[in-house]
């Protein structure tokens, strides 16, 4: 059993190398990189023929100063052979040296690090709220399949699912922050946050979080709730539940004593995916509520061609994705013993 | 819970249940009577009656075989008795199921819980899926016991689980308790199912094709185990199979079903020596010898079972029967008593208009 987890953790190393190779390949596309240079040369050559359009291609690349391009070249090792460049870059990445942001002129890691608390706060809160609503709701819906309660809640969760999160965000903002003035218009905390006591701080964060959280959650209930419901219904129809009832167990009790844990397997499988999705956030919602999270940072960096930050985010979210997957596997292993012990069948 | 008549505790007998206690000298006590049971399913094409007016009895300690082709309604009959029909699609639409005189079809949910697993236990065809994959064997076994003996301590339950594994011939029982179903072979899993069924020393075990999913050698071992256990515990068994060969080894009486109805019912020796229904005769002719592959058993009766949605008004076997005549297609044959040899007490019933003519062939 322990060996399963050890094996799983050792797998981080090759996965990490694979991920970084991919990201490194992408760096060859950034300004000053060999690919972009080729494109640029091609555009130059074309500009003789069609002078009116060529200016556009050249213009984008020139938004970075020569000094910045040189910095990028040095950081990614464009002047060195690929292997050497990769090895040196990897060495920097593991030391959290992700280069310098062209926009903020500060280390990328510092820029990213500042956003972490906010993203993690929203991520973990959404995660907890999602599971603590969806799992019980899915259970009740499965037991009361096709009743009014089931149909009504389905309508509600699918309504939330069908409307894009940013539309919910704008609607909430207009009504509850703008018209009614119940909640703040934007930000993660108030301006006087530092002067507040611990309780006041917590209340302030919660106060600011209500509307964004609803916007985040509106769409996320449907998938997990329906996953839970369908998974539980499948298991309620399974033969081992019939066995439990044949033993003399009440159906309601068999739901929790037998079907429940089995039905958590797909939920556990999707857990890691949810973690990454949620930590990386949604730039639109962050934009609307003016929350300085990961999603907004990524979007702005992309628009402003702040490539070191984009790459840094790519590396970090890949790592998060990896960690998420491992967490998923551990969760699955906890609910499903077949995973821990392998599926080897003993012979007759 | 365990206050049914026939409870093995002497105290219960002493407490006196006159109507059962005073049956001395009478033939073995009637355990189960299924009377004109009809069970229907709601399907997309409307309701279908898949078990139609089925009647049979099981006495304490006897083994009744229920045999017929796949789809003839054997499992549905068993699930009707257990009150385990898939809801809401399936329901009993007629007849009664009397267990020690109590109508289980009309019993409250709570009462059924007290009977299931306690007085009537059941094992299924697929030992692979019948056990909870994420729970240890020991826990599933202990549960079978504690459900009917609330307040049992942990150690006592574990001791009982060990005892049960031992009883069904599982070696290294102590270790097995901590294992999960996927770590056991199919034969071992079926033994675990049997052990769970035995947990509360039931009066009746319903075994629904318990060996069909297993290898031939394992099949034989499981049959032998069931025979031994029956001798030890004195429980009755309703043994369901599509294989007449298995019936011959295990059962004292046999009910043959065809397309949801009973075709013939007799003692095992009478049925094998003197089959009266054309369907039974066809079945017997197609029973393989030991060397043959058991899977080929029923394939030799020509024709196919009529579609459940378009059952004929007359005899359901008519389209395959070599003896069919006009009367067969017009009117469904009822189950009638036929003569038995001198000294035999067991009845021999046949649902065939022409059984006399058939026998004369
Ligand atoms: N859940 C169900 N819904 C509809 N029809 C069913 C259901 N279960 C069984 N049946 C039908 O009932 C008939 C008898 O099935 P069953 O008792 O399982 O046969 P068998 O004799 O092989 O055990 C079959 O025609 C089958 O199609
Ligand atoms: S009633 Fe007629 S068709 Fe049916 S089994 Fe008897 S002879 Fe054959
Ligand atoms: Mg069956």
- Report whether pLDDT(B327) > 50: yes
How close does chain B come to A260, measured CA to CA in Å?
A: 10
What confidence score (pLDDT) does residue B324 get? 93
pLDDT, tens digit, for every residue of A47-101? 655 444 444 444 444 456 777 777 777 777 777 888 888 888 888 888 888 888 8
3-state secondary structure of B85: coil
Q: What is the mean pLDDT of residues B346-360?
A: 91
What are the start-end ranges of the H helices in B83-136? 109-115
Token representation of residue B193: 């199912």
CA torsion, ordered A98, A103, A106, A108, to nearest 10 deg: -20
Average pLDDT per consecutive 10 residues, chain A (348 residues; last block may be shorter): 76 84 79 65 62 43 67 77 86 84 85 83 87 95 94 92 86 86 81 82 86 85 93 95 97 95 91 73 78 84 82 82 82 84 44
- Report whether pLDDT(B105) > 50: yes
In chain B, DSSP finds a helix count (H) and a strand count (E) of: 14, 12
Interface size A-B, in CB pairs within 8 Å, comes to 90
Q: Which residues, at least 6 apart from A36, have a Cβ–Cβ distance to it below 8 Å?
A: A29, A30, A61
Q: What is the mean pLDDT of residues B15-38?
A: 65
pTM of the full structure: 0.82
Contact: A240, B129; criterion CB under 8 Å: yes
CA distance A233 to A227: 10
Q: What is the mean pLDDT of residues B61-84?
A: 96
What confidence score (pLDDT) does residue A132 get? 94
pLDDT, tens digit, for every residue of B150-200? 888 999 999 999 999 999 999 999 999 999 999 999 999 999 999 999 999
What confidence score (pLDDT) does residue B24 get? 45
Whether residue B100 contacts residue B5, with contact meaning beta carbons closer than 8 Å, is answered with: yes
Residue with tokens 């844990």: A261
* CA angle in degrees (0–180, nearest 5) for B121-B124-B130: 100
Q: Give the residue from A4, A248, A339, A340 with the most B CB atoms within 10 Å of its CB, the best one to mutate.
A: A248
Q: Which of B133, B187, B200 is facing A262, going by the closest CB pair?
A: B133
**Mean of pLDDT over chain B:** 88
pLDDT, tens digit, for every residue of B298-323? 447 888 899 888 899 999 999 999 99
pLDDT, tens digit, for every residue of B232-289? 999 999 999 998 888 988 999 999 999 999 999 999 999 999 999 999 999 988 776 5
CA distance A276 to A42: 38
Best of B39, B40, B45, B50 to mutate for ligand 1, by most ligand atoms within 8 A of CB?
B50
What confidence score (pLDDT) does residue B289 get? 52
- Residue A292 phi/psi, 5-degree rounding, is -85, 70
Q: Which of A248, A336, A346 is facing B185, going by the closest CB pair?
A: A346
ipTM of the complex: 0.86
What confidence score (pLDDT) does residue B21 get? 38
Whether residue A275 contacts residue A122, with contact meaning beta carbons closer than 8 Å, is answered with: no
What confidence score (pLDDT) does residue B361 get? 73
How close does chain A come to B181, measured CA to CA in Å?
A: 9
For chain A, how many residues are written? Answer: 348
């Amino acid at each position: 059993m322990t060996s399963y987890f050890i094996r799983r953790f050792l797998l981080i190393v090759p996965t990490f190398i694979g991920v970084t190779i991919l990201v490194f390949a992408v760096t060859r596309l950034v300004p000053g990189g060999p690919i972009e240079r080729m494109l640029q040369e091609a555009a130059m050559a074309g500009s003789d023929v069609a002078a009116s359009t060529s200016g556009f291609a050249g213009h984008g690349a020139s938004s970075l100063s020569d000094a910045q391009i040189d910095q990028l070249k040095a950081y990614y090792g464009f002047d060195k052979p690929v292997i050497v460049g990769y090895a040196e870059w990897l060495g920097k990445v593991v030391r959290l040296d992700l280069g310098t942001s062209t926009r903020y002129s500060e280390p990328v890691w510092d820029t990213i690090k500042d956003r972490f608390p906010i993203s993690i706060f929203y991520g973990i809160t959404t995660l907890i709220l999602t599971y603590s609503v969806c799992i019980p709701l899915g259970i009740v819906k499965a037991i009361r399949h096709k009743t009014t309660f089931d149909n009504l809640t389905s309508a509600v969760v699918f309504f939330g699912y069908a409307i894009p999160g940013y539309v919910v965000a704008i609607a909430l903002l207009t009504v509850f922050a703008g018209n009614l003035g119940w909640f703040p218009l934007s930000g993660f905390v108030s301006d006087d946050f530092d002067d507040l006591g611990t309780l006041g701080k917590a209340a302030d964060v919660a106060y600011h979080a209500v509307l964004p959280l609803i916007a985040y959650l509106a769409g996320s209930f449907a998938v997990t709730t329906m996953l839970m419901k369908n998974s539980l219904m499948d298991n309620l129809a399974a033969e081992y539940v019939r066995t439990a009832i044949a033993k003399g167990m009440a159906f309601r009790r068999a739901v929790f004593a037998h079907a429940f844990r089995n039905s958590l397997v797909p939920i556990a499988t999707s857990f890691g995916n949810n973690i990454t999705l949620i930590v990386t956030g949604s730039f639109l919602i962050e934009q609307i509520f003016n929350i300085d999270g990961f999603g907004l940072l990524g979007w702005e960096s992309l628009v402003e061609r702040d490539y070191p930050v984009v790459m840094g985010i790519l590396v970090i979210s890949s790592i998060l994705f990896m960690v998420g997957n491992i967490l998923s596997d551990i969760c699955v292993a906890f609910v499903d013993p077949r995973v821990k012990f392998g599926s080897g069948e003993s012979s007759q | 819970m365990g206050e049914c008549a026939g409870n093995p505790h002497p105290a219960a007998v002493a407490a006196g249940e006159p109507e059962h206690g005073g049956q001395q000298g009478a033939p073995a006590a009637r355990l189960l009577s299924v009377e004109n049971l009809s069970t229907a399913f709601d399907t997309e094409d409307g309701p279908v009656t898949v078990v139609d007016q089925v009647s049979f009895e099981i006495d304490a300690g006897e083994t009744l075989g229920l045999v017929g082709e796949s789809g003839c309604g054997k499992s549905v009959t068993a699930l009707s008795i257990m009150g385990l029909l898939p809801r809401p699609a399936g329901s009993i639409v007629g007849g009664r199921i009397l267990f020690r005189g109590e109508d289980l079809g009309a019993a409250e949910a709570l009462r059924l819980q007290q009977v299931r697993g306690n007085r009537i236990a059941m094992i299924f065809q697929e030992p692979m899926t019948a056990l909870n994959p994420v729970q240890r064997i020991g826990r599933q076994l202990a549960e079978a016991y504690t459900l009917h003996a609330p307040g049992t301590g942990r150690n006592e339950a574990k001791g009982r689980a060990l005892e049960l594994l031992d009883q069904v011939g599982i070696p290294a029982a102590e270790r097995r308790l901590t294992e999960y179903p996927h770590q056991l072979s199919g034969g071992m899993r079926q033994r675990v199912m049997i052990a769970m069924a035995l947990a509360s020393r039931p009066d009746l075990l319903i075994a629904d094709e318990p060996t069909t999913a297993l290898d031939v050698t394992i099949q034989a071992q499981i049959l032998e185990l069931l025979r031994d256990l029956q001798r030890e515990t004195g429980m009755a068994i309703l043994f369901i199979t599509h294989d007449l060969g298995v019936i011959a080894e295990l059962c004292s009486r046999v009910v043959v079903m065809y397309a949801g109805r009973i075709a013939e019912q007799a003692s095992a020796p009478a049925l094998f020596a003197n089959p009266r229904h054309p369907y039974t005769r066809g079945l017997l002719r197609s029973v393989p010898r030991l060397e043959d592959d058991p899977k080929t058993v029923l394939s030799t009766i020509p024709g196919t079972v009529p579609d459940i949605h378009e059952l004929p008004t007359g005899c359901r076997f008519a389209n395959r029967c070599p003896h069919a005549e006009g009367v067969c297609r017009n009117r469904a044959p009822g189950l009638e008593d036929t003569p038995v040899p001198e000294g035999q007490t067991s009845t021999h019933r046949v649902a065939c208009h022409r059984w006399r003519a058939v026998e004369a062939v």
